[in-house]
Chain A
Amino acid sequence: MSVNNLIDLDTPVSPALSAPVRPGRVFVLPLVVFALFALVPLLALYGPQSFILALVTRIMILALAAMSLDLLIGYGAMISFGHAAFVGLGAYSVAILSSHGINDGFVQLAVALAVSFLFALFTGAISLRTKGVYFIMITLAFGQMLYFLGTSLAAYGGDDGLTLASRSTLFGSRILKNDIVLYYVVFGFLLGAYLLLRGIVASRFGRVLRGIRENPVRMEAIGFAPYRYQLTAYVIAGMIAGVSGCLLANQTEFVSPAFTTWQRSGDLIFVIVLGGLGSLHGAIIGAAVFSLLADILSHYTEHWALIFGPILILVVLYARGGIGGLLGSKP
């Protein structure tokens, strides 16, 4: 019984650990991914521009949230089933401040970061006392708590959600109203978070985290306190997901408790498994494939979930290592 193991140790999780990868190759795929994202607004000129921009902006926001969850699941073996809660916190920070006339993007971002920090610190400190399936369930419970809090906020739309009066302002200007500007702001956040997470993963902190994933008892025996490292990772991941919530509220100009349901958390897990666990650019690719798949299928039939569900099952059963694995970033 592997109740104490969050993830089977034989699951290939990290390219860095599972095989010697030639140094140059590690950078090729992410470079291609980011170059593509940077060029999308140019390519969009030749198609339905606003549709493409909106879709790819959403993909990047999803990727941001997914990457942060990958820090927990892929590198830390902490299967959080309540990660959408942080997206909701970020989104509601923007919406609630905006409904009180505070539209400054920096203030909203600061509040979102602070709220996500506190919520992650509080819930993480409690959740990390438990292990295995209990951890999955307690994170899910905290996510549900936030969902029900959202539905009961009658002053902010309750169940129906809340439409933003306007997008955030930067230095007092409404420059984010321009979809291309919003696109590059999101792009900047994604790139920044990618570099930050990459740095974290490669640092001593990241190595300890991966060590805890592989064998918490041994890490403790050689003098590391797993709890502190895991909690720090949990807080970092929560704050990054909070940022993605800020961006999501700006993109959709609408927030609702539906952002925080456990099904959304399930989607996030699906995205990173689809892209390949323990690979940051994998999470980005997973987000793109997930969104495009949902979008394309929904064009063909309103019952697209009939196809989507089985794909999910097949990916789990037969495509271990996800798309990242298929693309050869893993042996």
Chain B
Amino acid sequence: MTLTLALVQILNGLQFGLILFLIAAGLTLVFGVMDFINLAHGVQYMVGAYFVAAFTAMTGSFLLGLALALPTALAFGLLLEVLIFRHLYDRSHLDQVLATFGVIIFLNQAVKFVWGAAPLNVPIPDALSGTIEITDGMLYPVYRLVIIAVGLAVGLALYFVVNKTRLGMLVRAGASNAAMVSALGVNIRFLFTIVFGVGAMLAGFAGAMVAPILSVEPGMGDNVLILAFVVIVIGGIGSIRGAFIAALLIGLVDTLGRFFAPTLLRVLLDPATASQTGRAIAPMLIYILMAAVLFFRPSGLFPSKQ
């Protein structure tokens, strides 16, 4: 069993990690550039999933639904920025945490109001359903491979934009020292609006991509948000590279931990205790990892600020 199953778990972990990266990328840049803690980033992910569910039901095609959901998610993110977030940049972290917490409370209830409390299902598009045989006897769902491929492609594109373009240079500089970039004559507010919009769209995109394999429901962004924060804190705030590495790390540790913790503990404990302890420890592993990383490196693995 072990090798094949381990490969499946690694792929699952990779897929989870890449989704986390799509969410964390926007979060880390928004925090890095504007020093703004946006707890409402997780609801962008949820809203993306709801948009794709609604548009897919409307048009009958997942791809068409996705094509409509992305600009809508972008517009929705910018709307939130204009209405609420814009007024919070100069406020304390505590104010930011609280106000965006209010946005979460509101939007979780709003999607319940509009779409009902029951989870929605988005069908996997026909062309991407089914499984593929990777190695002998090992079947893996095509759609999950698509998520991995798309996640990697977006990650690469983001890497290219951030590291090789003028816009990316400004964003990186903004994340390191916003005041200096501003003093050099760059409109930091406008730069931020771009970063924020793209970040919101990426989170919405992540939500849209996982909509066919998860159920779309109110509050689905909340736990993902916490994981995304774990990612950016481990990676170092403002660092895309840190977010990428930390996201994959978290994805793999979480997935593999749930799978292997009971097995590994069997070396030390009797089987019943091992499986029980393993199940208890597995969900805590990433938080233990985070505490350990912060203990040794209080600013994360790749701090972008000096």
Q: A130-B294, A310-B106 are in contact. Are A152 and B280 (CB under 8 A)?
A: yes
The distance from the CB of A71 to the nearest CB of chain B, in whole angstroms, is: 15
Q: A140-B226, A310-B106 are in contact. Are A126 and B291 (CB under 8 A)?
A: yes
The distance from the CB of B18 to the nearest CB of chain A, in whole angstroms, is: 22
A residues less than 8 Å from B106 (CB atoms): 305-306, 308-310, 313
**How far does the alpha carbon of A7 sit from the alpha carbon of B97 in the complex, in Å?**
12
Is there contact, CB below 8 Å, between B230 and A303?
Answer: no
B residues less than 8 Å from A308 (CB atoms): 102, 105-106
Is there contact, CB below 8 Å, between B93 and A134?
Answer: no
Is there contact, CB below 8 Å, between B294 and A138?
Answer: yes
Q: A313-B99, A316-B98 are in contact. Are A144 and B287 (CB under 8 A)?
A: yes
Is there contact, CB below 8 Å, between B99 and A317?
Answer: yes
Is there contact, CB below 8 Å, between B294 and A126?
Answer: yes
Check: B189 CB closer than 8 A to any chain A CB.
no
User: Taking chain B's interface residues, is the majority helix, strand, or loop, or is none over half, making it mixed?
Assistant: helix
The distance from the CB of A281 to the nearest CB of chain B, in whole angstroms, is: 20
User: What mask results when residues 264 to 280 of chain A are scored 1 for a CB within 8 Å of chain B, else 0?
Assistant: 00100110010001000
**How far does the alpha carbon of A136 sit from the alpha carbon of B91 in the complex, in Å?**
16
A residues less than 8 Å from B230 (CB atoms): 137, 141
Is there contact, CB below 8 Å, between A134 and B35?
Answer: no
Chain A contact residues (Cβ within 8 angstroms of B): what range? 35 or more
Q: A133-B237, A154-B276 are in contact. Are A312 and B105 (CB under 8 A)?
A: yes
**How far does the alpha carbon of A277 sit from the alpha carbon of B95 in the complex, in Å?**
11
Check: B198 CB closer than 8 A to any chain A CB.
no
Is there contact, CB below 8 Å, between B299 and A73?
Answer: no
Is there contact, CB below 8 Å, between A138 and B101?
Answer: no
User: What mask results when residues 235 to 254 of chain B are scored 1 for a CB within 8 Å of chain A, else 0?
Assistant: 00100000000000000000
Check: A1 CB closer than 8 A to any chain B CB.
yes
Is there contact, CB below 8 Å, between B222 and A312?
Answer: no
The distance from the CB of B138 to the nearest CB of chain A, in whole angstroms, is: 30
The distance from the CB of A134 to the nearest CB of chain B, in whole angstroms, is: 6
Chain B contact residues (Cβ within 8 angstroms of A): what range? 35 or more
Q: A141-B291, A309-B104 are in contact. Are A269 and B98 (CB under 8 A)?
A: yes
The distance from the CB of B128 to the nearest CB of chain A, in whole angstroms, is: 33
Chain B contacts with A in 271-306, Cβ cutoff 8 A: 276, 279-280, 283-284, 287-288, 290-291, 294-295, 298-300, 305
**How far does the alpha carbon of A309 sit from the alpha carbon of B80 in the complex, in Å?**
14
**How far does the alpha carbon of A154 sit from the alpha carbon of B178 in the complex, in Å?**
49
Which A residue sits closest to B289, measured CB to CB? A141
Neighbour of A305 across the interface among B105, B177, B233, CB < 8 A: B105
A residues less than 8 Å from B229 (CB atoms): 137, 140
Is there contact, CB below 8 Å, between B290 and A141?
Answer: yes
Is there contact, CB below 8 Å, between A270 and B298?
Answer: no
Check: B31 CB closer than 8 A to any chain A CB.
yes
**How far does the alpha carbon of A316 sit from the alpha carbon of B95 in the complex, in Å?**
6
Chain B contacts with A in 143-200, Cβ cutoff 8 A: 177-179
Is there contact, CB below 8 Å, between A309 and B102?
Answer: yes
Check: B127 CB closer than 8 A to any chain A CB.
no
**How far does the alpha carbon of A309 sit from the alpha carbon of B43 in the complex, in Å?**
13
Chain B contacts with A in 83-105, Cβ cutoff 8 A: 84, 87-88, 91-95, 97-99, 101-105
Is there contact, CB below 8 Å, between B294 and A134?
Answer: yes
User: What mask results when residues 202 to 216 of chain B are scored 1 for a CB within 8 Å of chain A, else 0?
Assistant: 000000000000000
The distance from the CB of B105 to the nearest CB of chain A, in whole angstroms, is: 4
User: What mask results when residues 112 to 129 of chain A are scored 1 for a CB within 8 Å of chain B, else 0?
Assistant: 000000000000001001
Q: Residue among B37, B94, B112, B298 with the most chain A CB within 10 A? A: B94
Which B residue sits closest to A138, measured CB to CB? B294
Check: B129 CB closer than 8 A to any chain A CB.
no
- Write 5 A-B pairs (CB below 8 A) sorted by A numbering: A1-B177, A2-B93, A11-B94, A133-B237, A148-B287
Apart from A133-B37, A304-B109, A316-B91, what 4 extra A-B contacts exist at CB < 8 Å? A1-B178, A131-B298, A141-B290, A312-B98
Q: What residues of chain B have their CB less than 8 Å away from a CB belonging to chain A?
A: 31, 35, 37, 84, 87-88, 91-95, 97-99, 101-110, 112-113, 177-179, 222, 226, 229-230, 233, 237, 276, 279-280, 283-284, 287-288, 290-291, 294-295, 298-300, 305
